[in-house]
Structure 1
Amino acid sequence: MIGMEKPVLAVLCGDDQARELAESPAVQGIESSAVVRYTGEAGLADALRDADVLFVYDFLSRAVPDAWHAANKLRWLHIASAGVDPVMFPGMRDSDVVLTNSRGVFDDSIAEYVLGVILTFAKDLHGSLDLQRESRWQHRESERIAGREVLVVGTGPIGRAIARMLTAVGMTVSGAGRRARENDPDFGTVHASAVLTDHLPAYDYVVAVAPLTGQTKGMFDSAAFAAMKRTARFVNVGRGELVVTADLVGALRAGELAGAALDVFDTEPLPPESPLWTMKNVLVSPHMSGDFTGWRDTLVEVFADNWSRWQTGAPLRNVVDKELGYVPSDR
């Protein structure tokens, strides 16, 4: 235990989430060793005063920067997601507060989603559903995915899980990351993201899973889409802000690429007036590619494990490099 008094834990969550958390055995274990303050966005500043730890369970919330002035004793912030951009602002970056995330929870489920949308495009499953609703028997031929070339932009754990799964079904996978290299165990060849457009013409599928940083924001713009094959499909399971949405819409309308599967958007929920909803060659899902049955319990378990480590002074897992904006990898 750190000190003689119980540490104070602030938990940012919605009302329904607070009820779920209170019923979690993992959280009940934490409550025996801490003063726990459940709070919504409106009460976050009050909850942060004299708090030692902040658990951002509501990982879509953008409330932390405005309440940061009240974090007078905070030593550690954990966010219940792999992406940390909601809490990556100058005050946090410049502070001594340790930042951890939930890296590893969603790797395989997102990889399954990516495989699913690739098969949907190749086998025209969405077209079959449309024809079924019309009671139309229309025979078509479909594409093979074996041997197709895939570029996974983002070489962290999620990108690696995607690479392994797509390789297992016979696709040829390369990566794009901060530095170019050969003989990577999951990607073989990794291209430098700084020269991404030089490599895009070679690929049938481009999968975006990079973290959102100053270098990656808007990396998929008109130049990137123009560089892709006209038969290529684009999949975004990273962050919506990786894409210049207007440029993507323009490229799809112009036939510069064959389709897109989008799970994340720069504005969420996706506005009803967005043209992406009604484009025949676009698959839209509501930021759910990683959300498997039981994922919320797993997120709490990840935090609870780190809480035990923090109390005993053991090294925390998933410590984010605040300059890079993600957990560094040894590969």
Structure 2
Amino acid sequence: MLGEDSPVLTVLHSVDQPPDLERIEKYATIRYTDETGLTQALPGADALFVYDFLSTALPGAWHAADRLSWVHIASAGVDPVLFPGLRDSDVTLTNSRGVFDDAIAEYVLGVILAFAKDFARSLRLQEAARWQHRETERVAGQHVMVMGTGPIGRAIARMLRAVGMRVSGVGRTRRENDPDFGVVHPSTELVEHLPEADYVVAVAPLTEQTKGAFDARAFAAMKPTARFVNVGRGELVITKDLIAALRSQQIAGAALDVFDVEPLPSDSPLWMMQNVLVSAHMSGDVIGWRNILVERFIENFERWRTRQPLHNVVDKQLGYVPSPAV
């Protein structure tokens, strides 16, 4: 329930980076805190805005949450806040689904083109002032398998189909004649269908079912010419198995935006591999993205304070916002 007067909103932000919530200050008592003060900022709070979406402080402070009815996280992934205490409570959880879809799709198209057109080698040759004529690959007609059939996966599928690539999906259940993927294979058959793909894109949410899905067995099933792209969660991958597959040329390359340990340690061999593209968890972070995240929260806050149904309500047992039937 909301407070008898104005509701109390706690905002968890990183150090010296609180969001601009001036527009709603007249409607709520706002407590800004970084993770060191979260335990003190939760008692009496009706809602929590997890603006620092990488923070893992909430489980340790959960005992102080004595009046929460709503938690909103400024990301599409909810694994940092989906711990047993929140999952088993009556607290509603919402996320920022929809903000990153097209930006991440553009990133995926970009790294696929970078592999096909061998841009990394072109840059190395340019730095060495070395002229070397080469032939490159077409992307049209190549088969991309996308694990994760939510909004981001669908945006990726639409963008890749627009440049002539063949796309299939991997999701919870089998589907035929899907408008974006054509065929969706059940995740239980991932390894069985990996040999069909020239590119494999991981964008699935992190759940008990998807954690570690890309292991030695999965990489061994892929074509030696295939490339792997991870824009989902680092924990979808067994990193040591990926490194071994790259070193032994079981797969041809990888573009990695997320890692099981972030920042990626400086001694990781992934940094120095010429067939690997590394980016710093930024595939969806386009200019103005933080402002968009705040706007999405404010839209939901207005619905919450006026007791309208919230957008992007997470099924806490599944670990993501269910997509409507297509």
TM-score of the pair, normalised by structure 1: 0.97
Q: Distance in 2 between matches of 1:276 and 1:93?
A: 35
2:138 to 134, 144, 147: 144
Q: Percent of counterpart pairs with the same letter?
A: 70
Other-structure match for 1:169: 163
Other-structure match for 1:228: 222
How many residues align? The count is 325
State the secondary structure of the residue aligned to 1:85. coil
Other-structure match for 1:13: 13
Give the C-alpha shift of residue 2 in structure 1. 4.5
Other-structure match for 1:314: 308
Q: Distance in 2 between matches of 1:276 and 1:41?
A: 31
2:205 to 208, 211, 214: 211
- Aligned 8 A contact 2:2 2:46 in 1: no
- Aligned 8 A contact 1:2 1:312 in 2: no
State the secondary structure of the residue aligned to 1:126. helix
Q: Distance in 2 between matches of 1:3 and 1:110?
A: 39
Equivalent position amino acid for 1:7 in 2: P
Assess, with a 3 A threshold, how the Cα gap between structure 1 residues 14 and 3 changes in structure 2: closer, same or farther: closer
Give the C-alpha shift of residue 17 in structure 1. 1.3
2:242 to 232, 243, 248: 248
Q: Distance in 2 between matches of 1:4 and 1:269?
A: 43
Q: Distance in 1 between matches of 2:84 and 2:301?
A: 25
Equivalent position amino acid for 1:79 in 2: I
Give the C-alpha shift of residue 3 in structure 1. 5.3
Q: Tell me the C-alpha RMSD between the 2 structures.
A: 0.9
Give the C-alpha shift of residue 15 in structure 1. 3.0
TM-score of the pair, normalised by structure 2: 0.99
1:59 to 53, 58, 61: 53
Q: Distance in 2 between matches of 1:62 and 1:2?
A: 26
2:42 to 14, 31, 48: 48
Unaligned runs of 5+ in 1: none
Q: Deviations over 1:243-299 (max 9, x none)?
A: 000000000011100000000000000000100000010000000000000000000
Other-structure match for 1:100: 94
Q: Distance in 1 between matches of 2:198 and 2:219?
A: 12
Q: Distance in 2 between matches of 1:51 and 1:45?
A: 11
Q: Distance in 2 between matches of 1:264 and 1:4?
A: 43
Q: Return structure 1 stretches of 4+ with deviation > 3 angstroms.
A: 1-4
- Aligned 8 A contact 2:205 2:232 in 1: yes
State the secondary structure of the residue aligned to 2:35. coil
Unaligned runs of 5+ in 2: none
